[in-house]
Chain A
């Protein structure tokens, strides 16, 4: 990659081929010590299966608000983005409870490992709480309105119904937050967002939050799209199709969520009865002489099945349901992005119409209408790219989720099978042979 032009530090993603090798001598740019991150076993390997070919679009002026997507268009990511070519790894773990006079809350450790030039150091470790993640998400939505931002787990939990500090709740949330950051990390545009960078690196995030507006301009932050006032006549077919798909998808997911909850409920009721059932065999065993051991054996066996069932229900509650809910939130986010896109297109069409009505001699299209056209095209490109990525992720995630569900059920039956098989010899035992 010798001779490649040195890109500005914060101008967005670079082609991998354009990136100077960490060990290459560079005159002005300071690179940290060579660091090839080993594939983090905690990170999903699903990325390797992703098809990340992006639609080729015409390159647009880098000063335009949509610079991120124009660079995206130039970018050709490898099909096999495995651990070796990836250059940013983020993990959320180690939840800790903080008790202060005003409030009690949980913080999570956010660890970053990277070779990217945008980061001063190769490794970072900071502590963040939920409201920090929420802040990050809002900032991303503001600064990257053409992109789909991954969802966060729900902010408010009904007090009294859920224990915010229980191990299960905290763990479920941790996993969701981890997923949230990993999805941003995997995104070719969002992962280069400055707010994301600060979130991962700043010792004092609150100070940065207060700075707020000052840094907005540097990134080529787009002007906030004015919503309202423009109504789209008709959504283009492909986006209408996406909208319809999302509507049906949400419906089906909702149904699956209800079914899963119902199953858990029925399982728990079954468990209640089993818990009474097992001990009756034991009571009976107390009455008998020769049958005493076999009956005790059956009682113990049923007890083992109870434990296995408990584990299955717990797994489903803690691992299955949250992912369903997350995808429902994701659908909602995507629908909102679609609406924003509609707004942008509506604005463009309105302005275009206004120009056409003026009937000036000069066929030249005014610049602001041109800019609108750019915005529409870039938004469409971003959205399509994100949708494709989302579809892929969704397929991966659901494949993993449903296989996991099948696995848990298989494990449950295997545990019960072992229990029952082990008492057959006990039941067949003749007293004389003992």
Chain B
């Protein structure tokens, strides 16, 4: 197993910059560019560090890369990009794409995306991906030259179109169902979490009012004054602490979001299988009917009702020569069809095999990552509780000195 790119190369998205330029319609637009820095991880002689290469990319180029990868490797659960627009925001967060906090979180998300791809055993070997990281100019043209758009199955985009597949691999059907449920439950979770964050913010901030009133009250007191004043200060500290707490929690939300989008990628693979299976079944069906036609023409018996048969009855039989030509054409088509069916079958089986391998890899990754995310969430909650205990203990001491 070849070492994936991530082990050979350090990749970071280190900066984000606001840029203005002209778009395809020669209109001025503002966008954010991200600096990708790469550095070879090689045993170096002492004191020497590998040189850092860098180039700027914007979000639309990341999108192009991902689209290319999805089309080129349909059996792979391709890592998702961070969200294009801020979703699941609670009131304090901005839904503005230009907001510095959003840009910062997106920068981290893009870096994460590149690292995911670089550590994928199959994707990391892709040349286009490598060029994305290392080749500044002419990358777009290079991608388009691969002609991947032609390979793209437009039906994949039609999410709701149903194809009556008679014999899908049950595992994929179950997996598609799972990915739908996963999307639904994580969306719900993110929505409620945002509301929880909103409310918690309110609780903490109102306590800040105690700070002010205690201070005012302490002015008219003699013995109680000092205790009240210093307790009020702790209330201010308490109220201010929520900002950092909730900012940290956004990282947890981002981790969940990644898997929300991963569910989409998972679904795409299942969908691809469905379509392949559909094509296969259609091809098999077509072959069967052609064979039947051939048989009927050869033996002259009409086993099944067909319009052709009826019309030939009504308008007269064909000449033997005409029939023979037809049979010959059909036989050719049948042969072609059988070869095609064979290769389609093979393709399909290969797809199922390699897709399922990647799905297993993905499952393990998902279980590991989400467990880590839950642990870090619990750690955040523990930290918040400890801070709360600290502040109120301090306040209590001040009150005791009243």
Contacts and interface: CB of A to CB of B under 8 A. Distances in A.
Contacts of A424: 375, 378-379, 382
B389 A413 contact: yes
Interface in A263-296: 263, 266-267, 269-270, 272-274, 276-277, 280-281, 283-284, 287-288, 290-291, 294-295
A266 B207 CA distance: 11
A273 B223 contact: no
A52 to B, nearest CB: 16
A135 interface: no
A255 B396 CA distance: 20
A256 B371 contact: no
A248 interface: yes
B209 A259 contact: yes
Contacts of B385: 413-414, 416-417, 420
Contacts of B361: none
Nearest to A417: B385
A424 B383 CA distance: 13
Interface in A1-26: none
Given A274-B196, A295-B374, A298-B374, A287 B182 contact: yes
A263 B206 contact: yes
A266 B389 contact: no
A410 B394 CA distance: 10
Interface string A378-401: 000000000000000001001100
Contacts of B198: 273
Contact of A410 (B196, B224, B231, B389): B389
B388 interface: yes
A428 to B, nearest CB: 6
Interface in B166-207: 178, 181-182, 185-186, 188-189, 192-193, 195-196, 198-200, 202-203, 206-207
Given A406-B396, A407-B396, A262 B206 contact: yes
Given A266-B202, A277-B192, A395-B224, A294 B371 contact: yes
B367 interface: yes
B224 to A, nearest CB: 6
A399 B206 contact: no
Most chain B CB atoms below 10 A, which of A272, A416, A427: A427
B248 to A, nearest CB: 14
B378 A266 contact: no
A371 interface: no
B388 A409 contact: yes
Contacts of B185: 280, 283-284, 287
A403 B398 CA distance: 9
B31 interface: no
B122 interface: no
Contacts of A96: none
A238 to B, nearest CB: 14
A417 B382 contact: yes
A360 interface: no
B199 A266 contact: yes
B329 interface: no
Contact of B196 (A245, A273, A295, A420): A273
Interface string B225-250: 00100010000000000000000000
B24 interface: no
A350 interface: no
A290 to B, nearest CB: 5
Nearest to A267: B203
Contacts of A399: 224, 227, 399-400, 402
Nearest to A414: B389
B213 interface: yes
B202 A270 contact: yes
A402 interface: yes
Q: Please tell me the size bucket of the interface on B.
A: 35 or more
A273 B192 contact: yes
Given A280-B192, A423-B378, A245 B206 contact: no
B210 A256 contact: yes
B210 A406 contact: no
Nearest to B368: A290
Interface in B380-397: 381-382, 385-386, 388-389, 392-393, 395-396
Contact of B189 (A284, A414, A420): A284
B206 A413 contact: no
A395 B402 contact: yes
B27 interface: no
A361 interface: no
B199 A269 contact: yes
Interface in A409-434: 409-410, 412-414, 416-417, 420-421, 423-424, 427-428
Contact of B213 (A255, A284, A298): A255
Contacts of B381: 416, 420
A252 interface: yes
Nearest to A295: B374
Nearest to B210: A259
Contacts of A256: 210, 213, 217
Contacts of B178: 287
A180 B216 CA distance: 29
B234 to A, nearest CB: 9
Given A409-B388, A413-B388, A413-B389, A263 B203 contact: yes
B310 interface: no
A249 interface: yes
A420 B386 CA distance: 11
Given A266-B202, A406-B396, A406-B399, A291 B213 contact: no
A287 B181 contact: yes
B196 A270 contact: yes
B370 interface: yes
Contacts of B400: 399, 403
B378 A269 contact: no
A420 B399 contact: no
Nearest to B218: A252
A433 to B, nearest CB: 14
B203 A427 contact: no
A261 to B, nearest CB: 10
B102 to A, nearest CB: 23
B25 interface: no
B259 to A, nearest CB: 11
A124 B97 CA distance: 75
Contacts of A255: 209, 213
A256 B374 CA distance: 38
Contacts of A403: 396, 399-400
15 contacts: A255-B213, A256-B210, A256-B213, A259-B209, A266-B199, A269-B202, A270-B199, A276-B195, A277-B193, A280-B189, A284-B185, A399-B224, A424-B382, A427-B371, A428-B375
| Shortest beta-carbon contacts, A-B, top 7 | A406-B396, A270-B199, A417-B385, A413-B388, A402-B399, A252-B217, A409-B392
Given A277-B192, A399-B399, A402-B402, 12 more contacts: A245-B220, A252-B220, A262-B209, A266-B206, A276-B192, A284-B185, A284-B189, A291-B367, A294-B371, A295-B374, A410-B393, A417-B386
